[in-house]
Structure 1
Amino acid sequence: MLNFIKKWFGSPNSPKPPVEVQWPVKDISIGQVRKAAAAFLKEKPEGIPFSVLIKDDHEIDYTFLTPYLKAIPRQTYYMSRETYEIFEDRNFAKTIDKIQRAVDDYVDMEGKFPIQDGNPEMKICYMKLRSYLNDTPSFETYLTADENLITWRKPILQ
């Protein structure tokens, strides 16, 4: 993170870092954090990756979200590095990343998605991923139609 800030100060065209403000610590819902992350994604300066929000342990770095939240969340939230979904559980974020990498590896090797045959919900078939995952996840995941990313949210069929 320090190198990231140093780069800002190194170039006259670089964006300015967030203004140092003493934000209060408050109870902030996961929905509010998701909205703040979406606003940051929409307004972030070019050249700054969205992944700047994710610490090494998947915890969210609120440095860039506090201007949207007007506070520092009392709760700790975590973000998947692969899908950018936000969770209350670090292990859930890590597991989502493992599944997404397994799906990507499967697609690279097999040339198709590891979904259950004939499943209109695009449910991921963990049996097809057994060579790519060490453990079978305890929850179901689905392939999103628009981005080919996985999600734990069951799609609503119309």
Structure 2
Amino acid sequence: MFRKKRKAAGEEPAWEVISCSQDDIRQAVNAFARQADQRISLRSLIRQDNSLDPELLAPHLGGIPDRPFYMSKETFEVAEEQELVKMLDYAQIAVDQYFLETGNYPTMDGARSGKVSYFKLQHYLKEKPPMDLYLDPGDRMVTHRKPAEM
């Protein structure tokens, strides 16, 4: 899995294409973050279309992923679907704007899960996301994964 093929002497290494899971990508992103200079943002891994730059992750994966992975520029959540990370970006921006204006988080009243209230965000979102979103209790970032009940 961690094999590197070399081109002719003096050229950049040519990484082998490897099969990766979403968890492998998360671990590689975390390794990149630990080794990167503090002045380098994780956003440097993310291309304009929200895909992760495979060349930057290759040293941490031992190769180039065989398919694209995407990352939210706002929440840094990794996914295999581009639309999911774009939706998370839009929702996080809406949540942040709501919080700045009201001082409250736009969660459902009485919901201990941190479920986002689309009613409260109706003036901040262009369209309602097709799935339930939640605020992570630790960092207040939007996620599509339901946190464990408190």
Normalising by structure 1, we get a TM-score of: 0.85
Unaligned runs of 5+ in 2: 1-10
- Aligned pair partner of 1:142 in 116, 134, 144: 134
Higher relative strand content: 2
User: Aligned runs of 1:77-92 on 2, under 5 Å?
Assistant: 77-92=69-84
Matched residue, 1:100 = 92
Please state how far the C-alpha of 1:33 moved relative to its aligned partner: 0.6
Q: Which amino acid aligns with 1:73?
A: P
Matched, 1:26 2:18: yes
Higher mean displacement: 98-107 or 139-148: 139-148
Q: Which amino acid aligns with 1:126?
A: Y
After TM superposition, which residue ranges in structure 1, 4 or more long, deviate above 2 angstroms? none
Matched residue, 1:114 = 106
Matched residue, 2:7 = none
Matched residue, 1:11 = none
Cα RMSD, aligned residues only: 1.3
Please state how far the C-alpha of 1:46 moved relative to its aligned partner: 2.3
Matched, 1:133 2:128: no
**Matches of 1:42 and 1:127 in 2, distance apart?**
39
Higher mean displacement: 100-109 or 60-69: 60-69
Normalising by structure 2, we get a TM-score of: 0.89
Please state how far the C-alpha of 1:133 moved relative to its aligned partner: 0.5
Q: How far does the alpha carbon of each residue in 1:58-116 deviate from its partner, in whole angstroms, 9 at most, with x for none?
A: 01012221111011001111100000001111111100000000001111111100000
**Matches of 1:83 and 1:135 in 2, distance apart?**
19
Matched residue, 1:68 = 60
Matched residue, 1:49 = 41
**Matches of 1:49 and 1:108 in 2, distance apart?**
23
Matched, 1:58 2:64: no
Q: Which amino acid aligns with 2:63?
A: A
Higher mean displacement: 93-102 or 26-35: 26-35
Please state how far the C-alpha of 1:42 moved relative to its aligned partner: 1.5
Q: Which amino acid aligns with 2:29?
A: A
Across the two proteins, how many residue pairs are aligned to each other?
A: 140
Q: Which amino acid aligns with 1:59?
A: S
Q: How far does the alpha carbon of each residue in 1:108-144 deviate from its partner, in whole angstroms, 9 at most, with x for none?
A: 1111000000111010001110001111111111111
